[in-house]
Amino acid sequence: MEELLGALADPARWRLVALLAERPRPVGVLAELAGARQPQTTKHLQTLERAGVVTSQRTGQRRVYALRPGPLRDLAAALGRIADDADRPGGALETFHRYGAGLGAERLAAREAGWADGRTFSFARSLPRPPELVWRHLTEPSLLAGWWAPQDLRVSALVFEARPGGRVVLEYRDAEDPGGSDAVAGRAEGVVEEVRPGERLRYRSSPVLPNGEPAFTAHVDLGLRSDGAGTGLDARLRITGSTVESADFVAGIEIGFGQSLDKLAAVLAAASTNDTEHDTEHDTEHDDDTRSTR
């Protein structure tokens, strides 16, 4: 595929492909129609043939070239899949545009301190694991690190002391950093306020601005309830102490916190699948042992 893309990237070769799409043609005719010298045209055709997009055969003193449509159809299908993936409902492009629209609106609204105070965000998730396991993922740093950041970020430092007055620290970096700078993308610090294992967790957390000051304080209230074989999670986030500089942070709450909860659901679903497979293997081994003793 890379060789094909490289071959088609040259405008002169693209012109030859278009000419051959009409009908097979000899080198001399192609050179004349393309307004190029024959040796140069021959080299372009050889590149296209190595890439598999044209084929040739000698007829008397002439070499005639024809287009092979299969590789072009494969390329078109691959490009279509890429475009469909980017344009899928609820996908990355839609999220990007939604965040952009929210960012513009919040920046316009952030004209003075306290502009977002009292703003609340609510989230609900049905999680496929019992409350005691969900609670562990909400309070144990080793498990929190697996989901407590939006999709394009990764947790790089985390402190969560699950007791009233306990510290909360979350630092994150870009999930992909091809430049190798590994710069901190954000940091938040806070305090745990209420702990009722398996039922309710409340804490406050403040994103830190580049100058070291808090952008605002998010008061997070997480409630857990049994939901059949799983857990219903209700999350509420309320803002106080908002600064003018907090607009970008506030704009990202709905998408970012929602993505984090989606990652939590995915982590728990994967754990559930692994447990099921383990149970199946255990049952199979037990059956084999039983048969061997008969």
pLDDT in tens, 107-153: 999 999 999 999 999 999 999 999 999 999 999 999 999 999 888 88
Residue 46, amino acid? Q
- How many whole angstroms separate alpha carbon 4 and alpha carbon 54? 11
3-class state of residue 279 by DSSP: helix
Q: What is the pLDDT of residue 145?
A: 94
- pLDDT score at 136: 97
Count of CB atoms within 10 A of residue 279's CB?
10
13-17, 83-87, 223-227, 250-254: segment of lowest average pLDDT: 83-87
Q: Using one digit for the tens of pLDDT, what is the confidence trace for 5-44?
A: 999 999 999 999 999 999 999 999 999 999 999 999 999 9
Asked whether 249 and 143 are in contact (CB, 8 A), the reply is: no
Three-class DSSP category at 189: strand
Say if residues 253 and 237 touch (Cβ distance below 8 Å): yes
Residue 92: count other Cβ atoms within 10 Å of its Cβ: 13
Q: Do 267 and 147 touch, CB atoms closer than 8 A?
A: yes
39 or 289, which is more confident = 39
**In the predicted model, is pLDDT for residue 280 greater than 70?**
no
CA distance 238 to 225: 21
Rounded Cα–Cα distance for residues 249 and 216 (Å):
9
- pTM more than 0.75: no
